[in-house]
Structures are given as structure tokens and as C-alpha cells.
Chains A and B, each alone.
Chain A
Amino acid sequence: MSARFSPPELAGTDFEHPLLEVSLGPHHPSTHGVFRMDAALDGETVVKLKPVFGYLHRNHEKIAEKCSYLGSMPFTDRLDYMCSLTNNWGYALAVEKLTGLAVPERAEYIRVILGELTRLINHSAVVGFLLQDMGAMGTPLMYAFREREKILDLFESLTGARMMCNYMRFGGCRCDLPPGWIGQARGVAAKFPLFLDEFEALLTGNEILKARTEGVGVLTPELAVNAGVTGPMLRASGVNYDIRKVDAYGVYGRMDFRVPLGERGDVFDRYMIRILEMRESLKILDQALRDIPDGPILNLNAKLRNLRPKPGEAYGRIEGPKGELGFYLISDGGPNPYRYRVRPPSLINLTVLEDMCLGQTIADAVVILGSVDIVLGEVDR
């Protein structure tokens, strides 16, 4: 029994460099769930990497085609379980397009607030996970989770659940803000910059972090655009594409915020872009919490049950924390969608994994995977 193992299809190709094939995952500590990377290594350098997914496939799309329109809403919570509210929003947007329902202004503001809070949760946790993959003992992750708790408390007092919120409805939101909620949210938003400063003091200048991330996993803008990469990953490569600006859905058109763009598209840029985006999110939060009007939260014509949209199709997309989250619906006039399709940003961002990992070491591959920001619930659906 030899300690070396040459996989059949690779053996003999290059006698000088027998390749070591390792299967990272599906129960590897740092594949963010049940993801697998089949990597062929020369020493510790990755020469081939095949992402394998599907271990968490739950038949989301087919279930949604058998469910009523409302019934799929709680299932969308479970796509990207870190940011259930943005998933809700994407799906609600698609159904609203399909049915032509308008959303009252107050509901739009609530959606923006919740969406940006979700972005804060997601980005801070992702940076924490990235550092976890780099071996930082989870300290940044714990700090991120500490702040996440405070935001989750807000979610709980509004929607009744911390993670699986199931809050948005077609034509508005499920319930109005409880009294005092805005004040609490302002408090959280006011303290968040302190946490960001702390985070940056811990991480941004750290020489080890810089050494581990600079120049690692470079994604060129051309490749990013060609592969359909979206979200912070695309913007870290320097491409200006943010659906909040492009579509100006919700009331984002009224918000004053900027889109940070990276320079080199490496892991450090992806880290930094997320930090900067959080700061911009805080700006949006401030404006939305200041300007939120009174009024109804649900379109009076909205039907909860027995929604039967006219035959047609609609694609609703939002700038989720991970990228463009789209829902494509075809209605045949029945009570459930004829076709239901999710465009999961994680999955599509993951397709460039091999291109980023080639020529890097296996330790880098793990970090690059961490910087892609995947949630397997969304990748495998």
C-alpha cells in the first residue's frame, strides 16, 4: 500500500510530478456545509479542481411548483439561510411583477431597511467565515455573530423568527413595525460602525491577513462578466454593477449611496469591498429609518390565498448580499406556478472557483472558497 496515490486518469501524464488527488469535502471543516472540491495537487499546488455539489439538494423548485404562491414564501427562507429576508423580497418582487401588485411606500421602506440589515449580517459573517478558513480561531466570526445577535433580535421582534422570517407578502409585508422598533433599529445602526472599526482594527492592517489574501484568487473582470458573477465578487473585480442602482427597485432610487469597486479582484479586495459595502448600507439604513412614512403596509388588493395570476411570466431580481438573486416564474393561471426557477448567486459565483484556484496552494483554495461566500442551501436548493 503506497502512501502516494495516483488517480487513474492522471497517472502517467507527467512522471516527474505524480499528482495527489484529494477530495475536500463533503464533510470537510471548511467547505461551508456539504460542498466538495476534488482537487489534484502537485505538492500543495492545485493543478485541477472540480467543484461537486448537490449534497444539499432539497428539490426547492419542484416543491414550489406544487405549492401555492404563498406556500413557497417560507421555503425561500431556507434558500440562503443567512439572509431569509432578501430571499423573501426577491420572490415577492417576482410575484408582484407577475400580478402587477403595487407595494405601499411604507412597506417599501421596511423592505429596504430589512434588506440592508440582512446585508450587514451576511457581510460581517462572511468576513468572519473567511478568517475562520484562514485559521483565525473564529474570533472575527464571534464578533460578527455578536453584532448579528442584535440584528436578529430586531428581526425577531418584528417578524417573530430570527432566521426563517417569512415576512414579506405579495404587495407589502405581513405585519407592521411594533412600537419602538425604529428606535431600536436606529440604536443598532448607530453602534454598528463601532463594530466595523473594531473589525478593521483587528483585520485590515494585519500582515498575516494581507499576506494570505493579496494577489490570491484573482478574478479578472472579463472572466467575472463572462461567467455571470455578480455581487461583491464582481464589484471586487472592478465592474460597476449593482442591481440596487441598475434597477432601482424598491425605494433605492431615493437613497443616496455609493458602490465601492475593487482594484485587483483578489481575496483582499473581496474582503475590503464587503467592509465598504457595510458602511454604505449603514448610510442607506440611516436614510430609510429617517424617511420612513406612515401608511398601510399591505396593498389592499393583495390576496393572501387563492392567488391565481394571469398566465404570463416574470423575472424578479434583487441585489442580494451574495449577488443577483433572481426568481423566474411562469404562471398558467393556476394556483401554483407552472415554472419556478431561482437564480442563486452563490451557485453562479462558484463556477469560477477552479479558475481562481489554479496555481494556488490548497490552503489558498480554502480561502478563495471562503471569499466566494456560498451558502449551500442556495447552491444546491
Chain B
Amino acid sequence: MNGAGIIKGLVETARNFAGSYHDRERLTTVQYPEETLPPVENARTLPFLVYDGGDAMAGLRCTACMICEKECPPQCIYIIKDQARKPDYMGKMQLQPKVFDIDMSVCMSCGICVEVCPFDAIKMDQVFELSTDDRFAGLLFDNEKLARPNEYFRQLHKTEASEVDARREEEKRKAAAKAAAKPPLPGGVK
């Protein structure tokens, strides 16, 4: 019949018209500022630096090993090593970054820095409200702005954080056991 297909189509849009009023499956829009989606554990937006303890700068896990800087595909990480060293969680003396900048306007949220970091020092954040009126300085994050406590990481990525924490506990325990088994050399530091 002429127009049968058109009528079928009209019925379909009418069904969606009615459906959008009662069926959440159809009306998938989330009205953003009032509603937000529940956070997704794996979601990633931009990187941050993890620190332990109360002092952000002292507790940074980052050892300025430069791996992330080298691996970052868009080359948005910039690190300068500090001369001073500080002990890490296993008591080993490690370097620390003097400057750790990430240009967030260049970062493409791929998460490769997280994957390559051997110290679990850099992780992906889930913030997305980053708009600023200063696109150069406002989006260049330094280590103070990047540092987040480990609790924050635990809050975002529960599974990953508990894995990391367990591993670090284990390593710490092993290191302590090693240190106990092998008494420090007389007179030796380091």
C-alpha cells in the first residue's frame, strides 16, 4: 500500500515520544549540572601524583625516574630532578622531583604514564571540570597542584588501590625482614 512504510515510521516516532516520558531506557539523557552519573571505577581523565602521609611534597612517591616523561605520547610531562634524596616506603633513598609539570591542555588522557610507572606514583584522576580562563598557566599543573593523598586514590580506584597497597605492604614487610636479618654494617650508613 502507498505510504504504509511512512505510517509505520510515524508509529515508531510516536512510540518513542510516549516512551521518553516513562521509560528511562529511552530517555538516556543525564541533565549534567543537576544530575551526574555514578562514578566508574576504571574511568580516567587526567593524571595526578600520589603521596603518602600528611605532607604532600615530602610524601610524593615519585622518584623522578623520567620514565613517564619519556613514554608520554604527546610529551606533556616535564620533570627536573632534585639533588636531595629522601627515603621511600622501603627505606631506600630515592630521588625526588624538583619540578613536575604536566601541561593538561596537551595531555590526551591515555594513561600510559600510569602503566609505565614502576613506583605507582602517578595515577589517573576522574575530575573533568577543569575549564579555566587562562589556558596556559591555568592548565599547566605543577607538582603541588598534582599531588593527591593515597586516600584519594583509594577512593577513586578501589580495586587498583587495594592491589597497590597490598603489594607495597608486602614489599615493605620483605624489606623490613631483610633489614632485620642482615644487621647494618658497622659504621655504615646508606
Which A residues are closer than 8 A to B by beta carbons? Answer: 67-68, 70-75, 77, 139, 143, 146, 149-150, 153, 156-161, 164, 166, 174-175, 178, 191, 198, 201-210, 304-305
In this complex, which of B8, B12, B43 has the most chain A Cβ atoms within 10 angstroms of its Cβ?
Answer: B12
CB of B109 closer than 8 Å to a CB of A: yes
Q: Are A207 and B3 in contact (CB under 8 A)?
A: yes
Q: Are B108 and A164 in contact (CB under 8 A)?
A: yes
Residues of chain B within 8 A of A304, CB atoms compared: 115-116
Q: Are B5 and A206 in contact (CB under 8 A)?
A: yes
Q: List 9 A-B contacts (CB under 8 A).
A: A70-B71, A71-B112, A139-B13, A156-B40, A161-B43, A166-B110, A202-B13, A206-B8, A206-B9
Q: Are A207 and B41 in contact (CB under 8 A)?
A: no
Given A178-B159, A198-B12, 8 more pairs with CB closer than 8 A: A139-B13, A157-B40, A158-B42, A164-B110, A198-B16, A205-B9, A206-B9, A304-B116
Given known contacts A206-B6, A207-B3, A71 and B42 CB-to-CB distance under 8 angstroms: no
A339, chain B: closest CB distance, angstroms:
19
Residues of chain B within 8 A of A206, CB atoms compared: 5-6, 8-9
Q: Are A202 and B42 in contact (CB under 8 A)?
A: no
Residues of chain A within 8 A of B86, CB atoms compared: none
Residues of chain A within 8 A of B154, CB atoms compared: none
Q: Are A166 and B111 in contact (CB under 8 A)?
A: yes
A164–B71 alpha-carbon span in the complex (Å): 18
CB of B4 closer than 8 Å to a CB of A: yes
B176, chain A: closest CB distance, angstroms:
29
A178–B71 alpha-carbon span in the complex (Å): 26
Q: Are B12 and A205 in contact (CB under 8 A)?
A: no
Q: Are B43 and A156 in contact (CB under 8 A)?
A: yes
| Selected contact of A201 from candidates B3, B9, B159, CB within 8 Å | B9
Q: Are A305 and B67 in contact (CB under 8 A)?
A: yes
Q: Are B109 and A75 in contact (CB under 8 A)?
A: no
Residues of chain A within 8 A of B13, CB atoms compared: 139, 202
CB of B73 closer than 8 Å to a CB of A: yes
A-B contact count (CB 8 A): 87
A331–B9 alpha-carbon span in the complex (Å): 54
Interface size on B, residues (CB 8 A): 33
Residues of chain B within 8 A of A149, CB atoms compared: 28
**Shortest beta-carbon contacts, A-B, top 7:** A205-B5, A74-B110, A71-B73, A160-B44, A160-B42, A206-B5, A202-B12
Q: Are A160 and B73 in contact (CB under 8 A)?
A: no
CB of B173 closer than 8 Å to a CB of A: no
Q: Are A68 and B71 in contact (CB under 8 A)?
A: yes
Q: Are B112 and A74 in contact (CB under 8 A)?
A: yes
CB of B50 closer than 8 Å to a CB of A: no
Q: Tell me the residues in window 1-40 of chain B with beta carbons closer than 8 Å to chain A beta carbons.
A: 2-6, 8-9, 11-13, 15-16, 25-26, 28, 40
Q: Are A205 and B108 in contact (CB under 8 A)?
A: no
B74, chain A: closest CB distance, angstroms:
8
Q: Are B71 and A71 in contact (CB under 8 A)?
A: yes
B40, chain A: closest CB distance, angstroms:
5
Q: Are A166 and B112 in contact (CB under 8 A)?
A: yes
CB of B124 closer than 8 Å to a CB of A: yes
A156–B38 alpha-carbon span in the complex (Å): 12
B118, chain A: closest CB distance, angstroms:
10
B55, chain A: closest CB distance, angstroms:
30
| Selected contact of B71 from candidates A157, A209, A305, CB within 8 Å | A305
Given known contacts A70-B112, A75-B73, A174-B115, A159 and B42 CB-to-CB distance under 8 angstroms: yes
Residues of chain A within 8 A of B2, CB atoms compared: 207
B16 closest partner in A (C-beta): A143
Given known contacts A67-B73, A166-B111, A207 and B42 CB-to-CB distance under 8 angstroms: no
Q: Are A161 and B44 in contact (CB under 8 A)?
A: yes
A177, chain B: closest CB distance, angstroms:
10
B72, chain A: closest CB distance, angstroms:
8
Residues of chain B within 8 A of A67, CB atoms compared: 73
Q: Are A205 and B4 in contact (CB under 8 A)?
A: yes
B80, chain A: closest CB distance, angstroms:
22
Residues of chain A within 8 A of B6, CB atoms compared: 206-208
B20, chain A: closest CB distance, angstroms:
10
